[in-house]
Amino acid sequence: MKSGRFYTTLARHYTSQDDGTHIKAVDEVMGLVGLHIIRKTKSAPYFIYTTFEQADNITDANGNAIEDEDGNYRSVLKNVTPMTPNVISNNAGPGTTQTFAPPKSYPAGPNKQLYYQNIQSQNAPDKNHGLLDGGIILVNKRINDIPDEIIYANKQAHDAIRSYAAPRNFKSPPVWLYYKLINVQHVPLGDKISGIDRFPRSTYYQANSVIETDYNLQRFSGEFDDFRAKKFTISDFTKNGNDLKNVSHSGKSVNMGGCMGCHGNAQAAGSGFSFIFLDAPVKAPEWDTKSLNSSKFRRFINYPARP
């Protein structure tokens, strides 16, 4: 965050004080690395899914960003797999479950790269979540590149920010110069062939590198085999072997991928496209245990005062 390239704010997160039965709220200044905006406008017939990232999320082993602020690659990446180890999925078919080719080895450490690590199956609720769990998985680049149209939109936005800032002599460049749009889903895309990846992949499989780092979230379509039981393999087929549909579109149902398809699973479960409403019912707001000073009070009353 000291780089000045992050939007920072006081954020609340929760830590376990013992075995997980007692949770403590912690307020700490954090930097924004990724952001989803999901909105329903008056004119749009669908929820619109938009995702943004900080410019330096995906780096090489030395910590150098592989993309610029607009989303272009800084250099040509030759013979580089999106992840290390290379994740190879054997997609589910009618009556079969998705499996992964076992890697020969896992990295010893992340160095300065983005990575993820799945909890080991024996520690998972159902003892078999179906994902690779032998070690850390490094992110070398995106599975699906940022589309050229989005890169151009980022350049236009950044140019506009620079034009605004130039005559105002800010002490430092606006931090929003270091954030970029990754993609937008505004309408479901149909004609998905079950079990097969197809164009336009970047928009169909829209995903954020730090919010959906895991391979199955980067390539999501269909549904999880058993979300409530925490079995996170995915399939484009129903239990009866038929083509699965997860989002309705113009009177028809389609198998959508990415953000829209994933949240379609929550919609089908009756929680209005929201996994928060599905798994975390809140009966009343949590009371702030810290002192309520005049600054916090003014911040609070701004919310009910808004139209």
Instruction: Kindly indicate the confidence band of residue 304, based on its pLDDT and cuts at 50, 70 and 90.
Output: very low
What are the tens digits of pLDDT across the range 203-213?
A: 999 999 999 99
Q: What is the pLDDT of residue 297?
A: 55
**pLDDT of 94 above 70:** yes
Q: What is the pLDDT of residue 142?
A: 96
Query: Rounded to whole angstroms, what are the CA distances from 266 to 213, 227, 229, 262, 282?
Result: 20, 10, 14, 7, 17
Instruction: Kindly indicate the confidence band of residue 195, based on its pLDDT and cuts at 50, 70 and 90.
Output: low
Query: Residue 7: CB partners within 8 Å, gap ≥ 6?
Result: 31, 32, 175, 176, 179
What are the tens digits of pLDDT across the range 111-127?
A: 999 999 998 877 666 56
Q: Where are the alpha helices (DSSP H) in 80-222?
A: 148-165, 201-204, 215-218
Average pLDDT of the residues in 226-250:
87
Which residue type is seen at 201?
R
- Cβ–Cβ under 8 Å, residues 84 and 193: no
Distance (Å, whole) CA 215 – CA 209? 10
Q: What is the pLDDT of residue 67?
A: 97
**pLDDT of 296 above 70:** no
Average pLDDT of the residues in 294-305:
54
In degrees, rounded to 5, the angle at the alpha carbon of residue 145 between the alpha carbons of residues 276 and 46 is: 40
What are the tens digits of pLDDT across the range 136-163?
A: 999 999 999 999 999 999 999 999 999 9
Distance (Å, whole) CA 149 – CA 154? 9
- Cβ–Cβ under 8 Å, residues 43 and 36: no
Range with lowest mean pLDDT among 59-63, 226-230, 252-256: 226-230
**What secondary structure letter does DSSP report for 204?**
H
Domain range annotation of the chain? 1-31, 32-305
Average pLDDT of the residues in 176-194:
87
Distance (Å, whole) CA 34 – CA 139? 15
Distance (Å, whole) CA 229 – CA 129? 8
Q: What is the mean pLDDT of the chain?
A: 86
Q: What is the pLDDT of residue 188?
A: 86
Instruction: Say whether 241 sits in a helix, a strand or coil.
Output: coil
Burial of 180 (0-12, 13-18, 19+ CB in 10 A): buried
Instruction: Look up tokens 């911040």; give the residue.
Output: 299
What are the tens digits of pLDDT across the range 24-83?
A: 788 899 999 999 999 988 888 788 999 999 999 999 999 999 999 999 999 988 889 999
pTM score: 0.85
Q: What is the pLDDT of residue 307?
A: 42
